[in-house]
Each structure stands twice: as structure tokens, then as C-alpha cells.
């Protein structure tokens, strides 16, 4: 790398909830670093995905979905996180779902109209389009909404046409030393990845309502070269929710722990001992002091 010119820049990934931003990030980085589910607002905090290749380092900033309803302090922090993420980046990827344009997309559009950096519109989930002739007029309609640097139809889930995103972003990366070592793919700590993986499994296993009322925090953490021992605490709002998370004879909690452990062992390359506990802590999602303790920052 000595005397070679390198390029490095930040790219925010934005969009309304449940359009596939985290799935896209994982495909672009080649690692499952951001949790995914079919439920909106799964992503709650910014997470960086790092891709280094051909003398370029692209640092993707995955963000929560910009949403309309903000009933709790947590929701307000999530929306604020999106606005802050686009401040100072070199380019923006705006992800939309080709099947539907919503009020929340309009809200993202209002934010995008204030930006001066290049914006790449990524039209996601085209694998669900049976009649491809429908796509062209739709792409033309979307293209007219803003002066985009590029408009790219993709399927993040099927990894279709995602390479075109690199080609669209590369010209906008400034000449710069790398911010991170070439081998790194995220800035997230192992603790954060473990807590998020447990929350991902809970989100996939539980009812539509409950995932919004729970969070996961790491209470104890020990590691050696071959083993990671973790005690994770699942916080819920009410006693009735605690019973749902645990499940009959502890079945849900055992299943979540097993699935999370298997994924994490594959990701981290070490054996893991994972203990899960459930505790009721009413009002955690609307208490800024509590949210800060849990790692949710205002900036």
C-alpha cells in the first residue's frame, strides 16, 4: 500500500422502515453485521459496515427507518439518528420498496431534498416483481422525484445487481487514507453484535407487537481464545410480556438462545456459552436516562 493512492468515504443508507436497508448493508459488506427481520424498525442504532477493495474503502452507515409515529423517546432518538447520519457523508443510498410509496417515503424525500451530496436511489425487492415490464415506468416515475446520481433496481435478499451500487458510489469517494484496517468489516463491538443477534431471534420468534417493547443488554462478558461466556438480559415492559418471551416451560427462551448461539459461533469463530434472562423494566423506551444506559445515544 506504500505510496499508493487510496480513497475512503462515508455513505449513509437511509429509507423508511422495512425496505431492506440492513439486508442491503450485509450484502454490500459480505457479512451479516446488521440484524434483519420482516418487522419494521428492527434496526434501532447506527452501525457501520466497511468494505475495502481496489484501493477504496467505503464505510456504509446503516440507519433506523425514518418513521412517522414517534410515541416514545426511543423512536425520537431513532429518527434523530437518521438526520445526523446524512450530515457530513460523501454520498447517500436511499432505499425504497418498488411495491409501495408511502407517507414515510415522502418524509425521507423531504430530508433528501435538503442534501447536497450525490444520492443513489436503490429500488429494492425486484425479485418480487413478476412482470418486469412494470418496472421501467415505475423507475422513470421515481427518477423524476429528485436529481439522483443513479437509480438502481436491486434485490438485496437475492443479491441481484448489488454490484452496480459499488460502481455508482466509487466516483464519489474522496482521496483519503483508510479510516479502518483493511480486514475490518464493522466498527461494532462483540458485545453489541451479541445483543443484537439475540434481539433479532426474539423479533423473529415473537408476536408482531412485542418486539417493540423489548431490548437486550449484556450483563456479563468473558472471553478466551476458544470460548466466549455471555449473560444477556432481555428487558420487557410488563409481566405478561415476560411470560411470552420465556414461553411454555422456557421453550421460546431456549430456542432463541440456541439460534443466536449458533449464528454467533459461526460469525465469531469461537464456541459460546450464552445465558439469557428476562426482567420487567417498565418505561425503559420512554426514559432518556435509561436509554443512554442501554447504549442509545443522542448523537
3-state SS of the chain: helix, strand, coil percent to 5?
Answer: 40, 25, 35
- Summary count for the chain: helices (H), strands (E): 9, 9
Average pLDDT score over residue span 172-177: 96
Q: Following CA atoms 203, 204, 205, 209 in sequence, which dihedral angle do they give, to the nearest 10 degrees?
A: 50
CATH superfamily of domain region 7-172: P-loop containing nucleotide triphosphate hydrolases (3.40.50.300)
C-alpha 82/C-alpha 49 separation (Å) is 16
pLDDT of 195 strictly over 80: yes
Which CATH code, of 3.10.350.10, 3.30.300.20, 3.40.50.800, 3.30.70.1350, is assigned to 190-293?
3.30.300.20
26-35, 58-67, 206-215, 243-252: the lowest-pLDDT one: 206-215
pLDDT of 262 reads 95
Each residue's pLDDT tens digit, 218-236: 999 999 888 999 999 999 9
Read off the pLDDT band of 282 (50, 70, 90). confident
pLDDT of residue 299: 45
SS3 state at 233: strand
Q: What is the pLDDT of residues 101-126, one digit of tens each?
A: 999 999 899 999 999 999 999 999 99
Answer with the residue of higher pLDDT: 212 or 134: 134
**Where along the chain do its domains lie?**
7-172, 190-293
The stretch 62-81 carries a mean pLDDT of 65
- Beta carbons within 10 angstroms of residue 214's beta carbon: 22
Angle between helices 190-205 and 251-268 (to 10 degrees): 140
Amino acid at each position: 500500500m506504500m505510496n499508493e493512492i487510496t480513497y475512503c468515504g462515508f455513505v449513509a443508507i437511509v429509507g423508511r422502515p422495512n425496505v431492506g436497508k440492513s439486508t442491503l448493508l450485509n450484502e454490500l459488506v459480505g457479512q451479516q453485521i446488521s440484524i434483519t427481520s420482516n418487522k419494521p424498525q428492527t434496526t434501532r442504532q447506527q452501525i457501520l459496515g466497511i468494505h475495502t477493495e481496489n484501493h477504496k474503502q467505503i464505510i456504509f452507515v446503516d440507519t433506523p427507518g425514518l418513521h412517522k409515529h414517534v410515541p416514545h423517546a426511543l423512536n425520537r432518538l431513532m429518527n434523530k439518528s437518521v438526520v445526523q447520519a446524512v450530515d457530513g457523508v460523501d454520498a447517500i443510498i436511499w432505499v425504497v420498496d418498488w411495491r409501495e410509496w408511502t407517507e414515510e417515503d415522502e418524509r425521507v424525500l423531504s430530508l433528501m431534498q435538503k442534501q447536497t451530496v450525490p444520492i443513489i436511489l436503490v429500488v429494492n425487492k425486484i425479485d418480487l416483481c413478476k412482470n418486469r415490464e412494470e418496472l421501467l415506468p415505475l423507475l422513470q416515475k421515481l427518477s423524476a422525484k429528485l436529481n439522483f446520481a443513479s437509480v438502481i433496481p436491486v434485490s438485496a435478499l437475492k443479491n441481484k445487481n448489488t454490484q452496480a451500487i459499488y460502481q455508482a458510489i466509487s466516483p464519489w469517494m474522496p482521496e483519503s487514507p483508510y479510516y479502518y484496517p483493511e480486514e475490518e468489516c464493522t466498527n461494532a463491538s462483540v458485545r453489541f453484535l451479541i445483543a443484537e443477534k439475540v434481539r433479532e431471534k426474539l423479533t423473529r420468534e415473537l408476536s408482531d407487537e412485542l418486539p417493540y417493547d423489548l431490548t437486550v443488554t449484556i450483563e456479563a462478558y468473558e472471553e478466551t481464545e476458544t470460548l466466549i461466556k455471555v449473560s444477556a438480559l432481555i428487558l420487557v415492559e410488563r409481566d405478561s410480556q415476560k411470560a411470552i418471551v420465556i414461553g411454555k416451560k422456557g421453550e421460546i427462551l431456549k430456542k432463541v438462545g440456541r439460534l443466536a448461539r449458533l449464528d454467533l459461533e459461526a460469525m465469531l469463530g469461537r464456541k459460546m456459552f450464552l445465558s439469557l434472562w428476562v426482567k420487567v423494566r417498565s418505561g425503559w423506551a420512554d426514559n432518556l436516562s435509561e436509554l443512554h444506559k442501554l447504549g442509545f445515544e443522542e448523537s
